[in-house]
């Protein structure tokens, strides 16, 4: 059954199609704005939600994408070491400008500009994971290796230790 996607979700679907991968964006009626809501909506572990977080590199002002397991918090110091530059939090306007999407729907691909990308190594432990697809109601399922391929991201240790 084909259902029409909103324009933001459609942009993500087109970006995925451009990679030649058969990955399908699903737009739900439930909220997937947070990792917990997304996990509930698709019936997976919260650790299987690949959340796309935007930070701002302090020197260059560049946007940096960190894709983390929904179970983890990101350690900004570790990210800084991996990047070779300190980072700070991004506000909602910066996220929108850097990605073309609103917080709660930021996808791992399809951004308005290429983004330097780091991927939480914990995501690679799962057979399948879910990522946001442009809106706070849209997701797609993929394998962790596919996430690495489509983002060109660097897998590393980015989580804050409990």
Q: Which residues bind ligand 5CA (CB under 6 A)?
A: 32-35, 38, 49, 51-53, 90-92, 103-106, 131-132, 136
Residue nearest to ligand 5CA (CB): 51
Kindly state the smallest distance separating residue 39's Cβ from ligand 5CA, in Å. 8
d(CA 158, CA 13): 27
Place of tokens 């240790």: 157
DSSP per residue, 69-129? ETT--B-HHHHHHHHTS-EEE--HHHHHHHHSS-TT---SS--SS--EEEEEGGGGGSS-E
What dihedral do alpha carbons 141, 144, 147, 148 form, nearest 10°? -170
To ligand 5CA, the closest distance from the beta carbon of 66 in angstroms equals: 9
Question: Is the Cβ of residue 14 or residue 91 nearer to ligand 5CA in the bound state?
Answer: 91
Query: What is the nearest approach in angstroms of ligand 5CA to the Cβ of residue 17?
Result: 20
Shortest CB 155 distance to ligand 5CA, Å = 18
Residue closer to ligand 5CA (CB basis): 15 or 53:
53
């Amino acid at each position: 059954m084909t259902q029409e996607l909103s324009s933001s979700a459609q942009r993500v679907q087109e970006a995925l199609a451009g990679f030649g991968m058969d990955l399908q964006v699903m737009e739900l009626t439930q909220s997937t704005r947070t990792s917990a809501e997304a996990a509930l909506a698709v019936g997976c572990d919260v650790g299987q939600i690949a959340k796309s977080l935007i930070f701002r590199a302090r020197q260059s002002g560049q946007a940096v994408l960190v894709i983390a397991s929904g179970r983890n918090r990101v350690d900004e110091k570790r990210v800084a070491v991996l990047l070779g530059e300190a980072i700070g939090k991004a506000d909602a306007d910066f996220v929108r400008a850097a990605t073309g999407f609103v917080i709660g729907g930021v996808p791992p691909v399809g951004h308005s500009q290429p983004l330097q990308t780091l991927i939480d190594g914990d995501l690679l432990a799962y057979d399948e994971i879910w990522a946001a697809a442009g809106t706070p109601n849209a997701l797609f399922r993929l394998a962790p290796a596919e996430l690495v391929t489509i983002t060109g991201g660097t897998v590393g240790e980015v989580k804050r230790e409990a």
